[in-house]
Amino acid sequence: MQISAGQLCDLLNGSLEGDSAVIIFEVAKIEEGKEGALSFLSNSKYEEFVYNTKSSVVLVNKSFIPAKKVKATLIKVDDAYTAFTIILEKFSNPNTDLLGIETQSYVDPSAILGDAVYIGFATYVSKNVNIGQNSKIYPQVFLGRNVKVGSNCIIYPGVKIYEECIIGDNCIIHGGTVIGSDGFGFAPQPDRSYKKIPQTGNVIIEDDVEIGANCAIDRATMGSTIIRKGAKIDNLVQVAHNVDIGESCAIAGQAGVAGSAKLGKYCVLGGQVAVTGHIVVADGNQFGGQSGVNASIADQNKKWFGTPVNELRESLQSLAIQRRLPEMLKRIEELEKKMENKFPQ
């Protein structure tokens, strides 16, 4: 990366205050900046660092008004955090140079590979797999029969994508994730044993989805488990068979969504949230960490917390009351003693 502040300002359609000729070589946290580095300020908690950072250039929001002199060159943009992300994508992407098929990988002759595809060491590409242009398949990935991977995807090491699953364009799947493993389907028998129910469906992951490391996205019993466009899934998340995750949902680590549950658009699940099976959650609902969602929610755009979940304000009020219970119990016991002394039996 080597670009002048003026060129960067033009790229971001921003406004510049300071030296437009200063050259940027790298990016850095604002509190760890040094000469030639680009940093950003979007959270007011870090404002103190903008006045003494050694970074040459700092991206800030247009609304930012310095309280005192800033040594660095400032580039003002609509959203400093988003602008910084754009710079990282453009200048710090290690995947752009990966091309070709590495040795000791296997690509079935029936597979179709688009232009500028990369296949890493010890990766196995099965029959009738179709990989779109500019997708990067890292070492030790398994792609099962008839799998489709769209364009501009990144599949990191150790990912396993079982047969018939479909991955859209611009998706990122991190190491160790398994897509298309069998759903947890077993029929109880009279002798209390379990008979496995064949899982005949697949998983469909739409465009612009990112899935973290060591997740499990189970195939449908029939039909499809669906992760819709723009959804973001953190590490260590379980998505069960026939689940439908809505567009642009965000699911934090260790959350689990049970079979046939359906989340609407823009839902947010905090860490370790559990969603029971066969329920429907409307668009825009948000759930605090460790909440238990055990029933359908028809209301949109509300915040929830607790197990079972309650609306956030009511749940916090209940927690405040719970913290006072020991004190309340003590007062009740004291009142009982006074009543016994005043009215002995």
**So which residues are the catalytic ones?**
241
Element (DSSP H or E) covering residue 58: strand 57-61
Cβ atoms 147, 160 nearer than 8 A: no
* 245 vs 233: CA distance, rounded Å: 10
Does residue 308 have a cis bond before it (omega within 30 degrees)? Answer: yes
HSE-up of 338 (CA within 13 Å, CB side)? Answer: 6
Beta sheet of 73-77, edge-to-edge order: 15-17, 73-77, 57-61, 37-41, 26-27
DSSP reduced 3-state for 44 = helix
Q: How far is CA 165 from CA 110, 143, 153, 206, 240, in A?
A: 17, 9, 14, 11, 15
Q: Under a CB-based contact definition with an 8 Å cutoff, are residues 20 and 6 in contact?
A: yes
SS3 call for 244: strand
